Amino acid sequence: MQDDIRTRLPDNDANSEENLSGPAAARKIADLVSAGDSCFFCTRDLSSELHSRPMTVIEVEDGGTLWFFTEIDSFKNVELDRDPRVTLFFKEGDNGGHLRLDGTATQVLDKSTIHRLWTPKLRAWFTEGEDDPRISVLRVDPTGGEYWDNRHGTAIAGIKMLFGAIAGQRTDDGVHGRLSF
């Protein structure tokens, strides 16, 4: 029987736990993922193993839904047709938060959604603009996840880490929690 590692760690090594659900979980996603941030977007291949690739978030909605642009005939869309479950991994800078998000992806081909989410930089991939017939938009609805964050923001966390290194003392005041919807 495997014992829980947290029972074997000294108290000062454990992050505080703050589990979030519903609107609070959606706000945490928005805090850790700002529009334009990249993630590892993982689908499941034919063996049900994770297949990862970097992708950029176009928009995060208030409810936590994330939007991505991709090619309609991409291999990820083939994998999503077979199994719509995804796992996304985010990192917010050197001293920032981390997020693992599980969800369900849906392919959207609606021209009004494409128009609403379109930005000129996407022309680098879709040379015909927002009317490019290769455009597919992926909507990811989160089902759960996990986050690790600092309490005082990236700059303060960096300063505290520097002072901790100088003093030879641990200064981790991070917070960890599960997200549920």
Measured CA to CA, the distance from residue 147 to residue 175 in angstroms comes to 8
The answer to whether position 116 is within a domain reads yes
pLDDT of residue 52 exceeding 50, the answer is yes
Q: What is the mean pLDDT of the chain?
A: 84
Choose between 107 and 165: higher pLDDT: 107
The answer to whether position 32 is within a domain reads yes
pTM: 0.81
Mean predicted confidence (pLDDT) in 68-96: 92
The answer to whether position 37 is within a domain reads yes
Structural domain range at position 167: 17-180
Question: What token pair was written down for 46?
Answer: 């034919």
Least confident of 92-101, 142-151, 166-175: 166-175
Mean predicted confidence (pLDDT) in 139-166: 69
The answer to whether position 2 is within a domain reads no
CATH number at residue 62: 2.30.110.10
The answer to whether position 63 is within a domain reads yes
pLDDT at 58: 95
Choose between 169 and 16: higher pLDDT: 16
